[in-house]
Amino acid sequence: MSELPREFAIIARHFRPLAGQGALGLGDDAAVLSPPPGRDLVVAADAMVAGVHFLPDDPPDLVARKLLRTNLSDLAAMGAMPLGYLLTVSVPRSTDEAWFAGFAAGLARDQQEFGVSLLGGDTTSTTGPIGLSLTIVGTVLPGQVLRRDGAQAGDRIWVTGTIGDGALGLLAARGEIADPDGFLVDRYRVPQPRLALGLRLHGIAHAAMDVSDGLVQDLGHLCRAAGLAATIEAAAVPLSAAARAAGRLNLCLGGGDDYELLLAVPDQAERALAVAARESGTQVTRIGRFAAGSPCVSVIGPDGPMRLGRSGWDHLG
C-alpha cells in the first residue's frame, strides 16, 4: 500500500500516544465517552493564534500547555472537574517535526498533571500563522456549577493568586521590560488553572469567572450579569514582587492573561473560603465589594478614584 500522507504520520507519531479512553486510538471518525453517571457535562472552547495569543517563537511545549491551561481555567471558573479534550491544529506546511514533538510533549506533561487525555481532533495546513483550537470537556454535580450571574449587593470581591503578571510577562517576552529571573515570562506562558479551588467553591461563591481579558473588564462582566456596581481598592489587588518592581499598576489592572479566579463571596462564607483556599493551596485576596447601582467598576487608588482609560484585551477590535 502506498505511503500514507504526512498528516497521518504526524497523528500516529505525536498525537496517538496522548489519546485516552474513548478516543479509539484517534483512528475513528469520533470518540465515544460514557459520561460519569449522575454528573452534568461542562464544555468550553478557546482558540489561540500565533502572533495574537502567543509569540511565534514561543517554545511549542509551552504553547501547548498554555492552550490546555486556559481551557482548564474555564472549567475551574465553573467548579468543574476535567475529563478530556479535543484539539485542532492548523500549521504552515513548513512546520517541522520538532515543532509537533515539542507541542505533544507539552500536552503529555500537562495531561499527567491535570488528569486529562486527548479525545480527538484534526491536523491541517494553513497559509497563515499557526492556529490552534481546543475544546475541553469536564463534569460537575448537577446544581453545583459556578455561574457568572449570581453576585449580590454586599458580596466581597476576591481574586486568586496575583494579578498583572501575564500582561507584564508579555512585555518581558518582547524584551520591553526587565524580568531578571524569568518569573513574569513564565506566568505569561504557563498560567495556573485554579481547579482545586474551583471544585471547593460550591456554597461559598455566589459568582465566579476566570480573569482572561483583564481584571477591570472581566469584573465588568460580573457587574452586568448581576446588575450591580463594583468597587475595588487598587492597594488591595495582590501583586507579585516582580509586578511591584515593574510599577505598572494600570497595566496590571487592565491587562489580560491572568487566568486567576474572580469571585463574589458573601461575608458569612469567608471562613469557608479560607478553608477551601488552604486545602487547595491557593492564595485568595479580598479586593473590593459589590453594591446596588448600575453596572460600573470603580477603582480607588491612593489619591481617590482612578481613571483607567480603555482597558481589557479585545481579540477582534
- Using a 10 angstrom Cβ sphere, with 0-12 exposed, 13-18 middle and 19 or more buried, the burial of residue 309 is exposed
For a copy of itself, the closer CB: 126 or 285: 126
For a copy of itself, the closer CB: 85 or 183: 85
Amino acid identity for residue 102 in this structure: G
| Least Cβ distance, residue 33 to a copy of itself (angstroms) | 4
Where in 166-205 is the site for a copy of itself (CB under 8 A)? Answer: none
> CA 6 to CA 144: how far, in whole Å?
45
User: Which residue among 12, 33, 196, 306 contacts a copy of itself (CB under 8 A)?
Assistant: 33
Grid cell at residue 290 = 459589590
2 forms part of the interface with a copy of itself (CB under 8 A): yes
User: What is the SS3 assignment for 284?
Assistant: strand
User: Which residue among 210, 257, 258, 260 contacts a copy of itself (CB under 8 A)?
Assistant: 210
Reference 260, options 69, 114, 54; nearest CA is 69
Reference 233, options 276, 288, 315; nearest CA is 288
Grid cell at residue 144 = 453545583
312 forms part of the interface with a copy of itself (CB under 8 A): yes
Q: 4-18 burial, b if ≥16 CB within 10 A, otherwise e?
A: eeeeeebbeebbeeb
Amino acid identity for residue 282 in this structure: T
> CA 311 to CA 259: how far, in whole Å?
16
User: Which residue among 58, 149, 186, 270 contacts a copy of itself (CB under 8 A)?
Assistant: 149
For a copy of itself, the closer CB: 127 or 268: 127
Where in 277-306 is the site for a copy of itself (CB under 8 A)? Answer: 294-297
Pairing of strands 296-301, 207-211: unpaired
User: Which residue among 12, 49, 245, 306 contacts a copy of itself (CB under 8 A)?
Assistant: 49
Query: Would you give the binding string for a copy of itself spanning residues 73-92, x where CB under 8 A is met?
Result: -xx-xx-x-----xxxxxx-
Where in 218-237 is the site for a copy of itself (CB under 8 A)? Answer: 220-221, 223-225
For a copy of itself, the closer CB: 304 or 310: 310
User: What is the SS3 assignment for 282?
Assistant: coil
19 forms part of the interface with a copy of itself (CB under 8 A): no
Where in 84-143 is the site for a copy of itself (CB under 8 A)? Answer: 86-91, 93, 119-129, 131, 133, 135-138, 140, 142
